[in-house]
Amino acid sequence: MSPYPESRNVILLFVLASLPLFFSAHVEDPEAVVADVMRSIENTTTEAQRRQLSEYHCLTGNPIDDCWRCDPNWMKNRKRLADCGLGFGRKAIGGRNGEFYLVNTSRDDDDYRNPRPGTLRYGLRQKKPLWIIFKRNMSFKLKRHLVIESDKTIDGRGVTVRISDGPCLVIRFANNIIIHGLHIYNCKKRLVDGDGIQIFRGSNIWVDHNYMSNCEDGLIDAVFGSTAITISNNYFTHHDHTILLGHNDNFTMDKKMQVTVAFNHFGKGLIQRMPRCRFGYFHVVNNDYTRWEMYAIGGSAGATINSQGNKFVAPNHIFHKQVTMRPNTPKSVWKHWNWLSSGDEFHNGAYFVESGSKSSSIYAKAWSLKPKLSSLVGRLTKEAGVLKCQKGSPCWVRL
Hey, which residues are catalytic here? 273
DSSP H/E element including 17:
helix 9-18
Helix (H, G, I), strand (E, B) or coil at 73: coil
Give the type of residue at 295: Y
For residues 283 and 90, give the distance between their C-alpha atoms in angstroms, rounded to a whole number.
Answer: 13
How many CB atoms within 10 Å of residue 117?
A: 11
The answer to whether 116 touches 109, Cβ cutoff 8 Å, is yes
Task: Count CB atoms within 10 A of the CB of residue 57.
Answer: 13
Q: How many CB atoms lie within 10 A of CB 369?
A: 18
DSSP for 253-299, please give it.
GGGG-EEEEES-EE-TTEEE-SSEEESSEEEEES-EE---SS-SEEE
| Closest alpha carbon to 61 in 394, 398, 372 | 372
Strand partners, 394: none
The span from the CA of 254 to the CA of 245, in Å, is 9
Angle at 92 between CA 175 and CA 364, to 5 degrees: 110
SS3 237: strand
